[in-house]
Every structure is written in structure tokens, then in C-alpha cells.
């Protein structure tokens, strides 16, 4: 399956697979844990918000250190720290002391680690594969993410939570450590900039901000995805309550609802490279705007899992294709020495949108009812579609392969599954 992409990519792919097993298990268990402590939609939404908040607070600084430090060892250290945090949470759940403040604290610490780990991870693919192989490499990384993290692991996570609430988090802690061991064996990844070229943290942050702002295509895509992620998370942050109160599903049903999205996302990841070759990026992005808008309408109207499930399948296909277009654009555009900083700006807006959406989702649900966030998101997406339609028509993903020097692609760039 990995033929042609090299040993380094195989190692990265294996580490990603291991970590996604644990993350997928915990992704289903975490909302169930919060919902077992409180049924207040605001408190449920805040659990998502506190884990995304560090991206707003620390992402820009994290990007500087991703460009300064050895990215491989940075990921190793961060994964070990994440394993410790999740391990402590598992112990708290086992001892029945996992209160809302404890859950929030664990989420904030994990989010802080993610600003370093995910920014660094997002720079590795274009460092270990050729530019012309990026769509294929990204498709394989997305495929394992959706197949394992979103498809196979969540139902298992829900089942393990019912069996023993602490078990999913304990498994997640172990997978973080195993992923760290695998990444430690990765070869061919060096620091992006020699120490002699370093300046102040503020100057480095400013350089990344200016580069992204002056690139019209990435600037437009960053702003659009920021707004799209607000609308997306406004509804999905309270999905665990939506599945229970609107659709009448139990814990297993909630896990299967997540799996429906994962099925679509897996299909989308598999067909994205072919679609990118056959259709223009403008068309794919514009179709994505329509699908995203209709997703919120469909979920607002759905009263049964037989309607919500197909809607989530279509949404998953769309997310994978949109992610493939945006990731390839960044990977082929941003210079390697700026990759961490530019990605940190992108991720600050992308995950910041998720954080803001999570904060608003619970408030809207309390005010307008459990389907309120989906109706508000549908209206907001309709406005965004009108604004972004023409600019999206001018977006283009560079198609040429760039020359590699010292084992790196000097004019290419980077992602990680989570923010699109």
C-alpha cells in the first residue's frame, strides 16, 4: 500500500495509525464522559471550547518553535506529555473524581500540547515525500485518519466507555507513548532554520503573518475556513445531546452516528486525488460551500438517524475533499523555513473557529433548542456562500513539482486531520 513513498513516510504513517486508534476511541468517550456529568448544553460545548482555546492563545508562538526546533523530537516529547495528561484523566475517571473542572483542565492541557504537536506533525509529510506525491500521500494519511479515528475506533470507544469509563482514556494514553516511540525512529527530518538565522519570537511571528496575508489565495481560504468552522462546530459541539434528545439514540447510537460521518470522510479521502486531477479547485470549493450549507439544514430537519446518517455521510465526503484541496495548496506554496509559522497562523484561525463555534453552540442550543445551532449555521453559511463564491472561483492549487534540495522541498508546504 505504501509503495513508492519511502521508508520515512511509512514510519510516519504507522505512527499516525497508532495515535489515531487511541484518539478515535477517546473522541467518542470524551463527550459521553461530559454528558455523564452534566446535561447542560453550555457546559458540554465548553468542554470542546477549552481544548480549542490554546490554539488561539499559543498557536503563533508554537509555530515559531516548530520552525526552530527538531520537529521529530518535538513531536516525541509532546506525545509523551499528552500520554501523561490522558493517563491522569483515566485515573481520575477510574477513581470517580473526574468533575467538570478536572475534565476542562485536561482538555486545556491537551489543547496546549496539540498546538506544538499538531503544528509540527503538519510539516512532516512534505518533508518526507516529493511534491508530485503530495496528493497521494495526503490521501493515505487522511484515509487512515478516517478509517481508524472516525470509522472503526469511535464505536469501540463508546462500547469501552459503557464497559469501564476509564478504559478508553487509558488506551489513548498508551497509544500516545507508542506513537512517540515510532516517531523517534523517523529519519531525514531536520530543523528548518539554522540557529544563526534566528531572531526574536515576535519578529518570527510577524514574518509568518505577513507571508500568509500577502498570499491572496491562502488568505481567502483561511478566512473562509475560519467562518466555516464556526458554523460547523456550533452544531457538532452538542452532537452528543442532539443524538440523545433529538434522535433518541443511546451511547452506541451516538458512536454509530459519528461512524456515519467517518464512512463519508473515508470515501472522500479515497476519491479526492482523482477529483483533484479531473476537476478544478474552484468547482470543488464551490460545491463544498453548497454541501456545507445543506448539511446544517438536513440535520436541523432530521428527526431520525435514518435521515441524519446519510446527511453526515455526504458531509464527511465534502470535508475530505475540502481538506485535500486546502492541504495541498499549503504544502505546495509555503517555503519550508516558514512552514511551521504559516501553518500556525492557519491553524489559529481554523481551530479558533472551532473554539468559537463550540462556545456559541451551547448558548444557541439553550436559547433556541437543540436544533437551533444548525438553523443558525445554515443561515450563516448561506451568507458566506454568497460572499466567497467569486473569490473561491479564483483559487488555484499549484500543480507543478518543486525541486528538492537537501532532502527537502524548498517551495512546498503542510496539515493534520482535525481542522480542515
Model confidence over 220-253: pLDDT tens digits?
888 888 999 999 989 888 888 899 889 988 877 8
Model confidence over 189-229: pLDDT tens digits?
655 545 445 578 888 888 888 888 888 778 888 888 899 99
**Which DSSP string corresponds to 291-352?**
HHHHHHHHHHH--SHHHHHHHHHHHHHHHHHHHHHHHHHHHHHS-GGGHHHHHHHHHHHHHH
What confidence score (pLDDT) does residue 164 get?
92
CA 35/CA 255 separation, integer angstroms: 14
Domain contains 404: no
Over residues 332-356, mean pLDDT: 81
Domain contains 412: no
In the chain, how many domains are there? 1
- Domain CATH for 103: 1.20.1250.20
CA 56/CA 350 separation, integer angstroms: 10
Cα 212 to its chain centre, rounded Å, is: 20
Domain contains 419: no
What confidence score (pLDDT) does residue 181 get?
94
Please tell me which residue, 85 or 274, carries the higher pLDDT value.
85
Domain contains 12: yes
Domain contains 168: yes
Domain contains 234: yes
Domain contains 408: no
**Which DSSP string corresponds to 227-296?**
HHHHHHHHHHTTHHHHHHHTS---HHHHHHHHHHHHHHHHHHHHHHHHHHHHS-HHHHHHHHHHHHHHHH
Over residues 12-36, mean pLDDT: 87
Model confidence over 140-188: pLDDT tens digits?
887 787 778 767 787 788 889 989 999 999 999 999 999 999 998 887 6
Model confidence over 376-399: pLDDT tens digits?
999 999 999 998 888 887 765 555
What confidence score (pLDDT) does residue 218 get?
82
pTM equals 0.69
Over residues 268-275, mean pLDDT: 86
Residue-range definition of the domain harbouring residue 38: 7-188+202-397
Amino acid at each position: 500500500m505504501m509503495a513508492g513513498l519511502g521508508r520515512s513516510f511509512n514510519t510516519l504513517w504507522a505512527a499516525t495509525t497508532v495515535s489515531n486508534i487511541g484518539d478515535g476511541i477517546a473522541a467518542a468517550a470524551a463527550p459521553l464522559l461530559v454528558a455523564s456529568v452534566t446535561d447542560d448544553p453550555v457546559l458540554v460545548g465548553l468542554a470542546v471550547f477549552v481544548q480549542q482555546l490554546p490554539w488561539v492563545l499559543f498557536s503563533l508562538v508554537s509555530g515559531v518553535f516548530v520552525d526552530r526546533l527538531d520537529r521529530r523530537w518535538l513531536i516525541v516529547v509532546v506525545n509523551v506529555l499528552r500520554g501523561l495528561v490522558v493517563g491522569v484523566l483515566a485515573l481520575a475517571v477510574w477513581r470517580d473524581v473526574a468533575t467538570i473542572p478536572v475534565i476542562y483542565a485536561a482538555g486545556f492541557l491537551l489543547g496546549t500540547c496539540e498546538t506544538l504537536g499538531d503544528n509540527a506533525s503538519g510539516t512532516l509529510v512534505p518533508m518526507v515525500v516529493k511534491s508530485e506525491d503530495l496528493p497521494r500521500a495526503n490521501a493515505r494519511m487522511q484515509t487512515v485518519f478516517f478509517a481508524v479515528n472516525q470509522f472503526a475506533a469511535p464505536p469501540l470507544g463508546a462500547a469501552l466507555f459503557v464497559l469501564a469509563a476509564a478504559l478508553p482514556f487509558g488506551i489513548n494514553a498508551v497509544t500516545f507513548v507508542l506513537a512517540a516511540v515510532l516517531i523517534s525512529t523517523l529519519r531525514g527530518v531536520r530543523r528548518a532554520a539554522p540557529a544563526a538565522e534566528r531572531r526574536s519570537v515576535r519578529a518570527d511571528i510577524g514574518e509568518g503573518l505577513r507571508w500568509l496575508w500577502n498570499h491572496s489565495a491562502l488568505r481567502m481560504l483561511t478566512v473562509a475556513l475560519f467562518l466555516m468552522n464556526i458554523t460547523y462546530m456550533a452544531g457538532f459541539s452538542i452532537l452528543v445531546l442532539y443524538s440523545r434528545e433529538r434522535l433518541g439514540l443511546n451511547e452506541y447510537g451516538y458512536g454509530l452516528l459519528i461512524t456515519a460521518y467517518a464512512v463519508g470522510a473515508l470515501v472522500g479521502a479515497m476519491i479526492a486525488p482523482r477529483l483533484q486531477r479531473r476537476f478544478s479547485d474552484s468547482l470543488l470549493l464551490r460545491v463544498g460551500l453548497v454541501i456545507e450549507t445543506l448539511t446544517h439544514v438536513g440535520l436541523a430537519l432530521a428527526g431520525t438517524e435514518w435521515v441524519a446518517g446519510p446527511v453526515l455521510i455526504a458531509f464527511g465526503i465534502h470535508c475530505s475533499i475540502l481538506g485535500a484541496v486546502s492541504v495541498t495548496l499549503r504544502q505546495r506554496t509555503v517555503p519550508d523555513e516558514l512552514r511551521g509559522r504559516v501553518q500556525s497562523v492557519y491553524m489559529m484561525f481554523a481551530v479558533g473557529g472551532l473554539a468559537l463555534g463550540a462556545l456559541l453552540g451551547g448558548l444557541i442550543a439553550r436559547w433556541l433548542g437543540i436544533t437551533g445551532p444548525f438553523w443558525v449555521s445554515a443561515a450563516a453559511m448561506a451568507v458566506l456562500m454568497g460572499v466567497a463564491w467569486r473569490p473561491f472561483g479564483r483559487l488555484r492549487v499549484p500543480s507543478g513539482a518543486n525541486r528538492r534540495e537537501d532532502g527537502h522541498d524548498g517551495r512546498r508546504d503542510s496539515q493534520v486531520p482535525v481542522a480542515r
